[in-house]
Copies of this chain bind each other. A is one copy, B any other.
Amino acid sequence: MDKEKSVTAILRINCPDQKGLISRVTDFIQRNNGNIVALDQHTDKLEGQFFMRIEWELEGFELTKDQIAPAFEHAIAVPCHMRWQLDFSDQKLRMAIMVSKLSHCLYDLLARYHGGELDVEIPLIIGNHEEMKTIADQFGIPFHLIKITKENKAEQEKLQMKLIEENNIDFVVLARYMQILSTDFIKAYPNRIINIHHSTLPAFVGAKPYHQAHARGVKLIGATSHYVTEDLDAGPIIEQDIIRVTHRDTPETLVQKGKDVEKIVLSRAVAAHIARRTLVYENKTVIFN
């Protein structure tokens, strides 16, 4: 997009609220001659928690990439009791996509990837049905068919996890993947599995939300992208959106209309994750500017 975007460091912080936090962190960057290009902070007064995302240019910064973390740890993070994460904008995340039979979310992700909208690597796609293989092939991405039955689920998940490990995957996107992941799988990737659920959660948890929505006679349907936790459809919400429907809609037209909002919501959530704009606190997200 920009002619040449300079490399930046991105620091995400969470700690108990206390005086002088912003001053301390910005002073740390300033003393080392860093140029801050973005800062967004949030104080949750009810919980007494402070959150910040700060991004600065590495060009001219007096610490090397390797020196930043130990220096920050020592000078600020430990005394302030921070949870924190440091990333660099030139370090591409590696994303795995898991799919079943529906193509709309997969296509939306891959079309953005191909068009340069998602600055990410996609080393593999895992499907529990073979239908999506042709799409993986279209984009030249390895497709792994790992069929799941009640009986083989535990062992097949081990295969999935092995693929994820071998490919150094940073995070997993469930693009209308129709299997419920086991607790073991979920625990292995905390805040690193992004799902799309086809309702505005917490409405219509579980199976066939559009059929539930039709039965209830709602005038809106929607989609929710969230990090996966052990509680079904109950993880921290990253993004939601809706579209209007009417009495004319059948469960089938709701399914059809819902696809648009599902794919946009999932892609926005993935983009926020890639840009390191998300931070999970208790069962919620802070989504930074």
Q: Contact: B216 with A237, CB < 8 Å?
A: yes
Chain B residues lying within 8 Å of A236, measured Cβ to Cβ, are 217
Q: Which residue in B44, B108, B114, B237 is a CB contact (below 8 Å) of A103?
A: B114
A256 touches B1 (CB 8 A): yes
Q: How many residues of A contact B (CB 8 A)?
A: 73
* A70 is an interface residue with CB less than 8 A from chain B: no
Report A62-115 residues with CB < 8 Å from chain B CB. 102-104, 107-108, 111-112, 114-115
Beta-carbon nearest neighbor of A27 in chain B: B23
Closest beta carbon of chain B to A101's beta carbon, Å:
10
B107 touches A250 (CB 8 A): no
User: Dominant SS at the A interface?
Assistant: mixed
| Residues of the B chain whose Cβ atoms lie less than 8 Å from the Cβ of A1 | 252, 255-256
- Whole-angstrom distance between the alpha carbons of A284 and B238 in the complex? 30
Contact indicator B43/A37 (Cβ below 8 Å): yes
A2 at the interface (CB under 8 A from B): yes
Q: A39-B41, A217-B285, A220-B242 are in contact. Are A117 and B23 (CB under 8 A)?
A: no
